[in-house]
Chain A
Amino acid sequence: MDGLRRGSAAIVGIAESDLGAVATEMSPVDLMAQGIQRALADCGLHLRDVDGLLCATTQSRTSGLALSEYLGISPAYIDTTILGGSSFMFHVAHAQAALQLGLCKVAVIAYGSTQRTVGRRQASVREYNPYETPFRPFLPATAYALAASRHMHQYGTTREQLAAVAVAAREWALLNPAAWEKKPLTIDEVLSARMVSYPFTVRDCCLITDGGGAVIMTTAERARSLKKSPVYVLGCGQAITHANISSMPDLTVTGALQSGRAAYRMAQLSPGDIDVVELYDAFTINTILFLEDLGFCPKGEGGNFVSNGHIAPDGGLPVNTNGGGLSYCHPGMYGLFLLIEAARQLRRECGARQIADCETAIAHGNGGVLSSQSSVILGTQATI
């Protein structure tokens, strides 16, 4: 990402669409449009200002066309990169590049999914793979469970440590009025829940909800004239290591190692400088793997790191402050919501879950079965 300049672009508008279980007539593109309208209102821009459009969903093959038609716009810059749940972190880097080059002036990143309403099978059709499908892996859970088995074998990570990730996420969710889950959760409840793919019970797995949203980006100069404090893009990094879990080189080391390094280098920051951490927690092992690979603890020590409430509210490091994909919402490709929460924290708009004095945040997206990793480091005006 050597062409991207630290702080050259900023997130200026953010919004979720309706979340959870939306009205049955709502389409994924409805949710994108609703998110865009709310995010534009958030920053005081109008639809006519939008000349860059970035979006992805598994429920519309040519979502860029559908959304352009729906909004009545003909974007000068359009990007429908789809690499799983991390797609939106890739979009941030692409939008920043487009803004730097003057290919557009206001870029919108949008997502929408109705997977809870229509059913996961219909929302995201699995392709037949002759080298995996005959063995009936329950994807994606089985793939992440294989990674967890390897981490437990190599580093002695325990099911209780995995459960601690789910419990911390739930504690954060109880501070977030928009979260799907409203009741406390204990380690024992995680362990005794219905088994999905060992070592995961259903409480180690992300929610299946509807939802969408939008993020509006513009140049740093223009950002300063808008309604809310700009949230600057300080660093971006990405890595793709495989598509299918049977082709992942080492199941205990993810591409977050490379994506994080690239993002830190561009941001001129190190893990110790990050105040708020938002990680794609599709499964409890994800949080442990990404904390290690992004440098918040040494490899193999993630299980210990998440124990004893260390990543819960009032712990040592605030991680997944909205309640995460495990307890807040998870509409298929969750990455956009990590960007929204990171920006919201840096704007000090998080109410009961607000992290005091935060100036920097990392939003780390994961796609496929640990396949695509993309890290975005964001900062307030004070970091510029």
Chain B
Amino acid sequence: VFYPRVICPLSGSEHLEWRVSAGLGTVYATTVTHPREGAPYNVALIDCDEGFRMMSRVEDIAPEAVRIGMRVRFRVHRPGGDEPPYPVFVPLETA
């Protein structure tokens, strides 16, 4: 189940436990968002190998070079300031 929640949307059970993902996945969908100011950036949906999907972005390559089906690996992104860290992905070959 992803995102974390207090009941399971499949079974209705409230007996859920934390599981740790291996951090490997495949790009399911991808776009490059062009803000009115600043550089374009990637937004992608990643299908993780454990069977859940999450929004993230793929870094270390040009945003338009991200391809559906590309294998990717999790990396922690620390935006700094008061913003908490969040998960991004990088291509598996270069990781």
Q: Is B73 in the interface zone, CB < 8 Å from A? A: no
- Chain A nearest CB from B25 CB (Å) reads 13
Contact, CB under 8 Å: B43 / A136: yes
Expressed in whole angstroms, the Cα–Cα distance for A354 and B41 within the complex equals 44
Q: Which residues A98-149 have CB closer than 8 A to chain B?
A: 131-132, 134-138, 141-142, 145-149
B57:A146 contact, CB within 8 angstroms = no
Query: What separation, in Å, do the CA atoms of A202 and B33 have in the docked complex?
Result: 12
Distance to closest chain A CB from B58 (angstroms): 11
- Residues in A whose Cβ lies below 8 Å from that of B79: 134
Cα–Cα distance between A198 and B3 once the two chains are bound (Å): 26
**Chain A window 131-175, contacts with chain B (Cβ cutoff 8 Å), 1 for yes, 0 for no:** 110111110011001111110010000000000000000000000
Write out the residue numbers on chain A whose beta carbons fall within 8 Å of the beta carbon of B83: 134
Indicate if the CB atoms of A138 and B68 lie closer than 8 Å.
no
B-contacting residues, A324-346, CB 8 Å = none
Cβ contact within 8 Å between B86 and A142? no
Quote the shortest CB–CB distance from A192 to chain B (angstroms): 14
B53 contacts A by Cβ under 8 Å: yes
- B residues 34-48 in Cβ contact with A at 8 Å: 34-35, 40-41, 43-45
CA separation between A112 and B35, bound complex, in Å?
29
From A132, A141, A148, A150, B28 is in contact (CB under 8 Å) with A150
The one of A141, A146, A195 in contact with B45, judged by C-beta atoms closer than 8 angstroms, is A146
Q: Is B54 an interface residue (CB 8 A)?
A: yes
| CB <8 Å contact, A197 and B34 | yes
How far in angstroms is the closest Cβ of chain B from A139?
A: 10
Q: Is B29 positioned at the interface, with any CB of A under 8 Å from its CB?
A: yes
Interface of B is mostly: strand
Chain B residues closer than 8 Å to A135, beta-carbon distance: 43, 55-57, 86
Report how far A150 CA is from B69 CA in the complex, Å. Answer: 10
B29 touches A146 (CB 8 A): yes
Complex interface: chain A residues within 8 A of B56 (CB): 135
Name the contact of B33 in the complex, choosing from A148, A153, A197, A245 (C-beta under 8 A).
A197
Instruction: Name the residue of chain B whose CB is nearest to the CB of A153.
Output: B68
> Closest approach, in angstroms, between the C-beta of A244 and any C-beta of chain B?
8
Q: List the interface of chain B (C-beta within 8 A of A).
A: 3, 28-35, 40-41, 43-45, 53-57, 64, 68-69, 79, 83, 86
A and B contact pairs by CB, cutoff 8 A, 28 listed: A131-B3, A135-B56, A136-B33, A138-B35, A141-B33, A142-B43, A145-B31, A146-B29, A146-B30, A147-B29, A148-B31, A149-B30, A149-B31, A150-B29, A150-B68, A195-B32, A195-B40, A197-B32, A197-B33, A197-B43, A198-B33, A198-B64, A245-B45, A245-B55, A246-B45, A246-B53, A247-B53, A251-B28
State whether the Cβ of A187 lies closer than 8 Å to any Cβ in chain B: no
Across the interface, B31 reaches (CB within 8 A) one of A131, A146, A194, namely A146
Q: Would you list the 7 A-B pairs with minimal beta carbon distance, nearest first?
A: A145-B31, A146-B29, A246-B55, A198-B32, A153-B68, A134-B86, A195-B34
Q: How far is the CA of A134 from the CA of B86 in the complex (A)?
A: 7
A197 lies within 8 A of B57 (CB): no
| 14 additional A-B residue pairs with CB within 8 Å, beyond A134-B83, A142-B31 | A131-B3, A132-B55, A136-B35, A147-B29, A149-B30, A149-B31, A150-B68, A153-B68, A195-B40, A196-B34, A197-B31, A198-B32, A245-B55, A247-B3
Contact check, B68 vs A137: say whether CB atoms are below 8 A apart: no
Give the distance in Å from the alpha carbon of A155 to the alpha carbon of B53 in the complex. 21
Residues of chain B within 8 A of A195, CB atoms compared: 32, 34, 40
Q: What's the minimum C-beta distance from B61 to chain A, rounded to whole angstroms?
A: 15
Q: Given the known A-B contacts A137-B43, A150-B28, are A131 and B34 also in contact in the complex, defined by CB atoms under 8 Å? A: no
Residues of B within 8 A of A246 (CB): 45, 53-55
When C-beta atoms are compared, the residue in chain B nearest to A150 turns out to be B29
Chain A residues within 8 Å of B45, by CB? 146, 245-246, 251
User: Is A251 a contact of B57 with CB atoms below 8 Å?
Assistant: no
Q: How far apart sit A247 and B47, CA to CA, in the bound complex (Å)?
A: 11
Residues of B within 8 A of A146 (CB): 29-31, 43-45
Pairwise interchain contact A138-B33, C-beta atoms closer than 8 A: yes
Least CB distance, B85 to chain A, in whole angstroms: 9
Quote the shortest CB–CB distance from B69 to chain A (angstroms).
8
Query: Which of A136, A147, A148, A247 touches B41 (beta carbons < 8 Å)?
Result: A136
A109: min CB distance to chain B, Å: 32
